[in-house]
Structure 1
Amino acid sequence: MTGSACTTAPPAPEPGPPAEPPPSAPAPLTAPVVVERVRSAARGTDVNLVLITPEGVPAADLPVCLALHGRGANARVFLDLGLPAALTAAVRSGMKPFAVAAVDGDHYWVRTTSDDDPQRMLREEVPGWVTHRGLREPSAAFGISMGAFGALRYARDRPDLKAVAACSAALFVSWPDAKSRKVFRDQAQWEAEEPLRHTDELRDRPIGLWCGNSDPFVAADRKFSQAAKPEVSAFSAGAHNDTYWKRVLPDIVKFVGAKIT
């Protein structure tokens, strides 16, 4: 791995406005899939909040797994990938039920300006959003591509997570690779955020990793697998696309379900 030329990170931007407090009274979910627009003070914008629960199962007090989307998508992509059906099928086959909460993110799920901090949204706002709707606070995370980067970054701040699932993780083995994405402010920020550079902080987490052998990030994902020693490390035929993600999604749901409940 390329060594760092920077030894001191620049001062972090000032934090954004306070997180919006959730309403005091819970509002129970009434459908297996609920899509709402909510205001994120941490991101300085309205975002989609997509809540998915198994069909035929009471939603009240279910454990929650965060779902983080890839670059260019939003929280609704998990509906297109068939996550509601995969979750329901897994429960009907005997898995204990849990809920999934997906929200809109950007910038590899890291802060790039003082008024857009996706990780702060996950830590400070999402728990209130989901508990207000009768669910438990998130205790697992799952991400695809850029979202896998974000889920692994989130896990560094949440040593209590019961499961972290990374699919086609968009990781970078060097600063030139990361710089080409035009997301990170500088090399120092990338080094502070990149999961590959902080595998020692993740080894005690129950991690599952899935990646296609034709994925452009497969070399980086293999490096992560070697360093972090995930509990599940699944490399198989497939590319960085919906076809692969739909195929492995049932396995990811089962991995999370076995841990979160």
Structure 2
Amino acid sequence: MSGKGFSRRALLLGGGALAVAACDPAEPAAPSASPAPPVVPAPPTPAGPVTVDRVWSAARGAELDLVLITPEGVPAADLPVCLALHGRGSSAKTFVDLGLPSMLTEAVRAGVPPFTVAAVDGDHYWVAVDEADDPQRMLSGEVPEWLTRRGLGLRTGGVPSAIMGISMGAFGALRYARDHRDLRAAAAISPALFVGWGDARSRKVFRDRAQWEAHEPLLHADDTAPVPVGVWCGTQDPFAGAARRYIQAARPVVSRLSPGGHTDKYWKKVLPDVLRFVGERVG
């Protein structure tokens, strides 16, 4: 530790010892012990339905929100965890705004096995645009540590048991599932998928065609097996055509196409079904 870590009293005592040593070289001063590094307490296990913590992500080079949502009246410790990835232009707090805390509580009271939802801020379709900002590396390498420090997901070493995503977040969730084949569920809501490079390029996110092709779920529909995948999309959604193509190619265990657009109203309508899909598989 640098000299700044010593107290003024320690500095004075150290100075006195040096003075004695200078006067009596036969009696060398005993080296002073370095102070122990400070102990940083672990954040407490969430005690309420919603907890919002600020965390530093080295993978993304930014301070972010980590939002933890637990069924009301159920201790969070030992519950399985489902990651939740938000859409473009949104944030982790979106899931609170959509009413997910009350939906999760109602689902559990109706018999769905309880679990915790963990949402974190992301961007860029949840893929790396450069080495300084890599959301997938954050999800795989940092989220497990954040969860275990809070006493969550301990049975899996902090690794989430399931993942869900909305729009851009659905793209990211399906991408994450390719690298985590032991997931018990992956839910894609209004998935923002692209049937061709022209559509993908228009989003001005992907570095080039090769990067898009490496990540596009439509081009890797078989790569999530054996993870149970569910897909929900509104029939008036501009991504409905891409969702149909994905359903045909991936043959998810659940596929729901119903009236609705790419809107909060539609997501609020289908989230209870999504929570049942996840809870029945992770509980």
Q: Give TM-score, length-normalised by structure 2.
A: 0.83
- For 2:58, the equivalent position in structure 1 comes to 41
CA distance in 1, matches of 2:120, 2:103: 19
Are the equivalent residues in 1 in contact too, given 2:181–2:225 (CA < 8 A)?
no
- CA deviation map 1:155-203 (0-9, x unaligned): 0000000000000000000000000000000000000000000012124
The amino acid that maps onto 1:33 is V
Are the equivalent residues in 2 in contact too, given 1:29–1:133 (CA < 8 A)?
yes
Measure how far apart 1:219 and its partner are.
Answer: 0.3
- CA deviation map 1:98-129 (0-9, x unaligned): 00000000000000011000000000000111
CA distance in 2, matches of 1:112, 1:24: 34
- Alignment counterpart, residue 90 of structure 2, candidates 50, 73, 86: 73
- Alignment counterpart, residue 192 of structure 2, candidates 170, 189, 201: 170
- Alignment counterpart, residue 126 of structure 2, candidates 109, 133, 152: 109
CA distance in 1, matches of 2:46, 2:97: 21
How many correspondences in the alignment? 239
CA distance in 2, matches of 1:28, 1:36: 12
List gaps (5 residues or longer) in structure 1. Answer: 1-22
Identity score, percent: 65
Measure how far apart 1:87 and its partner are.
Answer: 0.3
CA distance in 2, matches of 1:117, 1:159: 20
- Alignment counterpart, residue 200 of structure 1, candidates 213, 216, 222: 222
- For 2:99, the equivalent position in structure 1 comes to 82
Measure how far apart 1:26 and its partner are.
Answer: 6.0
Q: Give TM-score, length-normalised by structure 1.
A: 0.90
Matches within 5 A, 1:114-133: 114-133=131-150
Relative contact order, CA 8 A, sep 6+: which one is greater? 1
Q: Secondary structure in 2 aligned to 1:200? A: coil
Measure how far apart 1:37 and its partner are.
Answer: 0.9
Matches within 5 A, 1:97-246: 97-136=114-153, 137=158, 138-246=160-268
Considering only aligned residues, what root-mean-square deviation do their CA atoms show, in Å?
1.0
The amino acid that maps onto 1:158 is H
- For 1:6, the equivalent position in structure 2 comes to none
CA distance in 2, matches of 1:171, 1:25: 39
Q: Displaced runs of 4+ in structure 1, greater than 4 A?
A: 23-26
- For 1:32, the equivalent position in structure 2 comes to 49
CA distance in 2, matches of 1:193, 1:58: 37
Are the equivalent residues in 1 in contact too, given 2:231–2:254 (CA < 8 A)?
yes
CA distance in 2, matches of 1:174, 1:203: 23
The amino acid that maps onto 2:115 is F
**In the superposition, relative to structure 1, how do residues 38 and 63 fare at CA in structure 2: closer, same or farther (>3 Å)?**
same
Matches within 5 A, 1:51-66: 51-66=68-83
Structure with a larger share of its residues in helix:
2
Are the equivalent residues in 1 in contact too, given 2:57–2:63 (CA < 8 A)?
yes
- For 1:11, the equivalent position in structure 2 comes to none
**In the superposition, relative to structure 1, how do residues 73 and 26 fare at CA in structure 2: closer, same or farther (>3 Å)?**
closer
The amino acid that maps onto 1:243 is K
CA distance in 1, matches of 2:62, 2:43: 23
Are the equivalent residues in 2 in contact too, given 1:26–1:131 (CA < 8 A)?
no
